[in-house]
């Protein structure tokens, strides 16, 4: 079974989770792994429907490779990078079409078009691929055949499969797909998105089209210098209907989607799923939450309460927030980190594309976290972060490059990001200045 260069996924060993809201409006223009890094491998369970190899011997061998046991008193450490919302609006797709060599500058998609998103990630690839494990948040469905794509000036999205190629090429090991756009193409789109990600060797966390895997985590088996570590990733959304308001509605044709909907299952349900992942051997559990109030840097009282309930336990080790399209602060709870909002990693949102939007919508971060478990089984984390900014072209041209932000290159972006991260008094996280 072929493995990725850094990590092996134990895919459906525990699979499915979730994230939240309509944060994706007001953004369309209406005019014109380093050498020597130990391997991480992936062994999806249920290979016939989740993009696995179908090699039973290889899959079983990986699933029986045990993680470090907390009872043995063995210390464990793992480095993770995580990014914010990947939301390819129509003009992002036009940029990708132009990068692929098309001369068509229309914002309207056509069947048979080709796309290349790789140049958009060129500046951040070294950063992403340098950690033991890299996780992203995919906001939109992926189309396996380039049909039924996002239509301009609508809030229902579908992105060409070439996006998955670019994400894997940038060094991401997996994405969560828990958002208010999870159901933009229905159950079929949900299944297609997981299939496309798995076909390029990536993991998938969040709502699933497969009832038997609902409520289960995506599990990564990561080779580190100290040995093999298992990390479980769960993801949850605040809503499925993209109506602009939170709702407890669950699609009638897929009642199991409740398992990835945090307003329905609550913190108790999340902790139960996280404990199941622990019981199956996970050394660390990461939870992604689609939550919060759009375009607001301050987390809501509900966000802070849920973070306290999750990280106050010994079951969840890191909480990653998405949805609000601006950076929100981080906080340490019980020695572990929550990042309430990672901002926009890739989108077309900007004051230049919609006058109602703020400059913060062009900004995001790559969070670099180290999870550590000591000999007594206590988990703690440390954090640094690299501010980023999407460079949006002033006219129809190849663009939407994710730039590394420094005090010299984009001083206002740098200041806004640092101020937002520290809104709650800081979490012992320092910004990284890219090398000149």
> For the segment 344-354, what is each residue's pLDDT rounded down to a tens digit?
999 999 999 99
How many other CB atoms are found less than 10 A from the CB of residue 412?
12
- CA–CA distance, 364 with 347 (Å, rounded to integer): 10
Pair 382, 370: CB distance under 8 Å: yes
Please indicate, yes or no, if residue 368 is contained in any of the structural domains: yes
Q: Residue 8 — pLDDT band, cuts 50, 70, 90?
A: low
Residues written for the chain: 436
Number of domains forming the structure of the chain: 1
β-pairing verdict for 227-236 and 218-224: antiparallel
**Both structure tokens of 285:** 């559990």
335 pLDDT above the threshold of 80? yes
Please indicate, yes or no, if residue 436 is contained in any of the structural domains: no
| CA dihedral (159, 165, 167, 168) positive or negative | positive
pTM: 0.87
Bridge partners of 290, per DSSP, are 322
Please indicate, yes or no, if residue 384 is contained in any of the structural domains: yes
The H or E element containing residue 235 is strand 227-236
Q: Residue 110 — pLDDT band, cuts 50, 70, 90?
A: confident
The domain that contains 103 carries what CATH number? Answer: 3.60.21
What number is the average pLDDT over the span 27-56? 39
User: Phi and psi of 366, rounded to 5°?
Assistant: -110, 115
Please indicate, yes or no, if residue 268 is contained in any of the structural domains: yes
Q: Residue 398 — pLDDT band, cuts 50, 70, 90?
A: very high
Please indicate, yes or no, if residue 364 is contained in any of the structural domains: yes
In sequence order, what are the residues at sequence separation of 6 or more whose Cβ sits closer than 8 angstroms to the Cβ of residue 432? Answer: 368, 384, 385, 386
- CA–CA distance, 385 with 274 (Å, rounded to integer): 26
Please indicate, yes or no, if residue 2 is contained in any of the structural domains: no
Please indicate, yes or no, if residue 139 is contained in any of the structural domains: yes
Domain that holds residue 155: 8-53+70-431
Question: How confident is the prediction for the chain on average, in pLDDT?
Answer: 87
Please indicate, yes or no, if residue 3 is contained in any of the structural domains: no
Pair 125, 118: CB distance under 8 Å: no
């Amino acid at each position: 079974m072929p493995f990725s260069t850094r990590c092996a996924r134990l895919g459906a060993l525990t699979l499915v989770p979730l994230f939240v809201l309509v944060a994706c409006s007001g953004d369309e223009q209406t005019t014109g792994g380093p050498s020597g890094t130990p391997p991480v491998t992936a062994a999806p369970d249920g290979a016939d429907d989740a993009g696995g190899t179908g090699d039973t011997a290889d899959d079983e061998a990986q699933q029986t490779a045990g993680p470090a046991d907390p009872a043995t008193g063995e210390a464990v450490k793992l480095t993770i990078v995580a990014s914010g919302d990947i939301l390819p609006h129509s003009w992002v797709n036009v940029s990708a079409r132009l990068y692929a060599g098309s001369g068509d500058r229309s914002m309207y998609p056509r069947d048979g078009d080709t796309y290349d998103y790789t140049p958009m990630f060129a500046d951040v690839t070294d950063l992403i691929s340098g950690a033991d494990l890299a996780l992203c948040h995919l906001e939109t469905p992926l189309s396996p055949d380039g049909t039924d794509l996002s239509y301009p000036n609508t809030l229902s999205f579908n992105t060409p499969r070439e996006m998955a190629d670019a994400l894997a090429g940038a060094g991401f090991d997996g994405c969560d797909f828990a958002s208010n756009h999870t159901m933009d193409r229905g159950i079929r789109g949900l299944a297609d998105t997981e299939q496309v990600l798995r076909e390029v060797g990536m993991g998938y966390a969040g709502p699933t089209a497969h009832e038997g895997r609902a409520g289960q985590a995506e599990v990564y088996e990561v080779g580190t210098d100290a040995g093999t570590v298992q990390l479980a990733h769960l993801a949850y959304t605040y809503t499925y209907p993209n109506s602009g308001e939170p709702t407890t509605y669950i699609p009638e044709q897929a009642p199991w989607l409740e398992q990835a909907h945090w307003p329905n299952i609550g913190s108790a349900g999340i902790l139960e799923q996280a404990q199941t992942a622990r019981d199956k051997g996970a050394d660390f559990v990461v939870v992604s939450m689609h939550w919060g109030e759009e375009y607001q840097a301050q987390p809501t009282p509900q966000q802070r309460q849920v973070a306290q309930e999750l990280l106050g336990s010994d079951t969840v080790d890191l909480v990653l927030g998405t949805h609000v399209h601006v950076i929100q602060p981080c906080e340490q709870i019980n020695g572990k980190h929550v990042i309430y909002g990672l901002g926009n990693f890739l989108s077309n949102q900007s004051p230049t594309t919609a006058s109602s939007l703020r400059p913060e919508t062009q900004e995001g971060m790559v969070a670099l976290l180290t999870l550590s478990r000591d000999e007594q089984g206590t988990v703690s984390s440390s954090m640094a972060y690299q501010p980023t900014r999407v460079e949006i072209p002033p006219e129809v041209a190849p663009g939407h490059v994710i730039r590394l932000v420094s005090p010299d290159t984009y001083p206002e972006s740098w200041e806004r990001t640092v101020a937002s991260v520290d809104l709650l008094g800081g979490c012992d996280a320092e910004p990284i200045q890219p090398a000149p």
